[in-house]
Chain A
Amino acid sequence: MEKAVETTRLERFLDSDIWHSFKSNPVAIVSLIVTLIMVLSSAFAPLLAPQDPFDLANIDIMDSSLPPSWMAEGDPRFLFGTDDQGRDILSTIMYGAQISLIVGFASVVFSMVVGISLGLISGYAGGRVDAFIMRVADIQLSFPAILIALLIDGVARGIFEAHLHEQISIYVLIFAIGISGWVQYARTVRGSTLVEKNKEYVQAARVIGIRPITILHRHILPNVMGPVMVIATIHLAIAVITEATLSFLGVGVPPTTPSLGTLIRIGNEYLFSGEWWITIFPGAALLILVLAVNLLGDWLRDAMNPKLR
């Protein structure tokens, strides 16, 4: 029985509009492949990277600022060259993307959980609860995410002692970026909930005494997951950029565990001195990652919205 359901699900998926749209869209296919490569290579960085850039006993200052290996003074050990500390750029990018993606994914999940819960509650309960949540959402929406994140990071910096803050800064960052993004999820979910709530099957379920939580979970949630996925994809791109910007402004993750944004900030100091590879490669990696995710989100949105096809 279970197996049969699975098969039909897969079959249903393979027969779905989404899959057909995906198959016929080369941009979407390439984006997905690029995204997967980036995600996997950073996830398995400890296995794949030529060097562990965080192991200080491993790096030598005398190797610092070497150009990419194909250039005259390049060293075959370092494909994309080395940074000012003698770390292999390719490895720092892989590890850096890992940090960026962890922050990105985690803050998206955080936003999603908060946003969906509040959206469901808001839409289903209605009345004062709804008015209150939506009012908070309005207020928060009017403040740009970057400002909220700056605020939260500033607060954390004040509360926690410096050393501790360095250790937990990644969680602070996830919280800061995540908390500023829940509104969109909440609004979308609330809208769909309002629509679904009044449909007959939900009304019927209510009448026969099924608990609200079950109704929300079984009937309403599946219907709002489509738009939520679209928001989540685009939000991932925004989260990665926000993290990079905060790190660039110097309030993100500490340089000892650099994200892509931190790498760009460090490399920026060497842009005029001709050591372009220190900043250009991490910059390109960030651009490619965000671009691929954005393209994927774009396609997903169009595919989900039949009106646009």
Chain B
Amino acid sequence: MKLRHGILAATAAAAIALSAPVVKAETFKFAFQGNLSSLDPHSLNETFLLGSLNNVYEGLVLYDDNLKVVPGLAESWETIEPTKWKFNLRKGVKFHNGNDFTAADVKFTWERAIGEGSDQIARASKIKNVEIVDDHTVIIETPAPNPILTSDLVNILIMDKEWSEANNTANATSASADNSGNFANLNSNGTGPFKVDEHKADVKTTFSKFDGYWGSMKSNVTKIEFTPIKEAATRVAALISGELDLVYPVPVQDWKRLEEAKGVKPLAGPEARTIFLGMDQGRDELLYSNIKGKNPFKDIRVRQAFAHALNLDAIKKKVMRGAATPSGLMIAPQINGHIPELNTPYEYDPAKSKELLAAAGYPDGFEVTMDCPNNRYVNDEKICQAVVSMLAKVGVKVDLLAQPKSKYFGKVLATGGYDTSFYLLGWTPGTMDAENVFSSLLTCQNKEEKKGLFNLGNYCNPKIDELTAKIGSETDQAKRNALIKEGFTILKEEVGYLPLHQQPLSWGVREGVELNQRADNALDFRYVVIN
């Protein structure tokens, strides 16, 4: 072994002597539980895909290491009218193939993102028009005043018009068979700090540093290898055995093992995702319950009883191994609009819970079926099992139906007709703002106006709808925050939802690797440093 090192060193020395200054090649290898399904930034609205491709493509604005919006391909911007934003584009930016980045690319990208096959239509629809002023200025028009437009721009990743048209990929890669050969699905050309060398779907993706990157970055990495590893045990084993530099997520119960093992450590932080329970409060009779002719969840006392039956500290301690932050709110502290004084969870008090159930007319409890995913959130199924056991103690018999996410979402979401009575869901507001929670989870279901689409239990209070509309267009921060607070106070009093906790980000890294663990669980290559 020693000898081989010697030879290697000698060859390396020879190489250095022969060639000009050589940068030490640092390769960073990491694994994630899911796969990178496509290289097309408009193909799928999914956190991991967008987070990964954000290293290859960039938006007009970027997230920094704390999820604050900072200038990206736009150097600066101003609101010239409530619905019109002027963006001054960065000059001298090159795409990976050497093309210049100009205003035409911005307009092209928006058209592609809102066009046929795109899964970014919802986001792109927040823009009504993109007007090219000159090569380095665009004016973006929104359908209504939108104080948080830039949060959406982070994930509208800019593509090269010339390259896309030359390669016949003016439309996004969609699932339909007719544009299967979409060039952008397996090839990329962004402005980001890394370019893709090779992409084998579901096997391996390799990235290398883009020397012409406009920005400066901390990273000293020149090559990055990504492998999807689905099994948690395999992932952890690969880290411990020294084959990888980063794996995520790591099961919370394995933290101890990583702390004990040599050369690796767990890296934890609070994620911006809130896990909560929802109850069907819309139907007159529950779909899955032994109570016929009425809906127990319409009675606030039943919802309160549920709230007091849950021991969030026990879930934190035993299921999450101390790694969760119990929550009284539907948003995490990192999210704009968070109110610390409302964040205290409902008190754990089974005796009170029983009293409330008796008062509501269910002294012996009742039966209800709970829907739960088993491969979506950190220990999701185990949380549900703990909830079932806690509710059993106050007399409510819960029949648990835990399923893989594809089947679970197919059943409980709008496409499945909200086919659930009681469910567990997690939510990260994509815009990092409370408004997203109000419009998606708290407003009454309204299919025509596409509101409250993820309010699966149809918790409905016209006052909240009203507040939501105001929050959406109020541009004064202080007034806006007061509106958010008013809304959350009503929600809390009415026990519209049962927030559980913010789940932890749980990564495992090799010692000697520095990186930034962003609260949306994305890996920004710009902060990866190997010592």
Contact = CB atoms under 8 A, between A and B. Distances in A.
Chains A and B in contact, CB within 8 Å = yes
Given A56-B388, A162-B407, A255-B381, A268 B233 contact: yes
Contacts of B240: 272
Interface in A247-279: 250, 254-256, 268-275
Nearest to B410: A162
A84 interface: yes
A256 B400 contact: yes
Nearest to B395: A57
B314 A62 contact: yes
Interface in B223-270: 232-233, 236-237, 240, 251, 253-257
Interface residues of A, number: 26
A165 B237 CA distance: 34
Nearest to B261: A272
Given A57-B393, A162-B401, A166-B401, A273 B314 contact: no
A69 interface: no
A180 interface: no
Grouping DSSP codes into helix (H, G, I), strand (E, B) and loop, the A interface class, with mixed when no group exceeds half, is loop
A56 B389 contact: yes
Grouping DSSP codes into helix (H, G, I), strand (E, B) and loop, the B interface class, with mixed when no group exceeds half, is helix
Interface residues of B, number: 35
Contacts of A57: 389, 392-393
A273 B251 contact: yes
B298 interface: no
A307 interface: no
Contacts of A162: 401, 403, 407, 411
A64 interface: yes
A61 interface: yes
Interface string B381-418: 11001101110110000101111100100010000000
A272 B407 contact: no
Nearest to B382: A84
A209 to B, nearest CB: 59
B327 interface: no
B329 interface: no
B318 interface: yes
Contacts, number: 67
Interface in B350-406: 369, 381-382, 385-386, 388-390, 392-393, 398, 400-404
Given A162-B401, A273-B256, A274-B257, A60 B389 contact: yes
Interface string B290-318: 00000000000000000000010011001
Contacts of A273: 251, 253-257
A5 B224 CA distance: 80
Contact of B315 (A59, A61, A65, A274): A61
B392 to A, nearest CB: 4
A274 B401 CA distance: 29
B318 A61 contact: yes
A254 B411 CA distance: 18
Nearest to A62: B314
A269 B251 contact: yes
B441 interface: no
Contacts of B386: 61, 85
A85 B253 CA distance: 13
A211 interface: no
A59 B391 CA distance: 12
B319 interface: yes
B318 A269 contact: no
Interface in B193-240: 232-233, 236-237, 240
Nearest to B389: A56
A61 to B, nearest CB: 5
B369 A272 contact: no
A163 interface: yes
A44 B207 CA distance: 59
Interface in A49-63: 56-57, 59-62
Contacts of A60: 389
Contacts of B232: 269
Contact of A85 (B236, B385, B398): B385
Contacts of A61: 311, 314-315, 318-319, 386, 389-390
A62 B401 CA distance: 23
B392 A272 contact: no
B233 A271 contact: yes
A200 B138 CA distance: 100
Contacts of B318: 61-62, 64-65, 84, 86
A40 B318 CA distance: 34
Given A162-B401, A273-B251, A85 B237 contact: no
Contacts of B319: 61, 64, 84
Given A64-B318, A271-B233, A255 B402 contact: yes
Contacts of B314: 61-62
B111 to A, nearest CB: 39
Contacts of A56: 388-389, 392, 398
Interface string B409-430: 0010000000000000000000
A194 to B, nearest CB: 48
18 contacts: A56-B389, A59-B389, A61-B318, A61-B319, A61-B386, A61-B389, A62-B314, A84-B319, A85-B382, A85-B389, A162-B403, A268-B233, A269-B233, A272-B240, A272-B257, A273-B255, A273-B257, A274-B257
Interface of B: 232-233, 236-237, 240, 251, 253-257, 288, 311, 314-315, 318-319, 369, 381-382, 385-386, 388-390, 392-393, 398, 400-404, 407, 411
Given A59-B389, A60-B389, A64-B318, 11 more contacts: A56-B392, A61-B311, A84-B382, A162-B403, A162-B407, A269-B232, A269-B233, A272-B240, A272-B257, A273-B257, A274-B256
Interface of A: 56-57, 59-62, 64-65, 84-86, 162-163, 166, 250, 254-256, 268-275
Closest 9 CB pairs of A and B: A56-B392, A273-B253, A57-B392, A56-B389, A272-B257, A64-B318, A272-B254, A273-B254, A61-B386
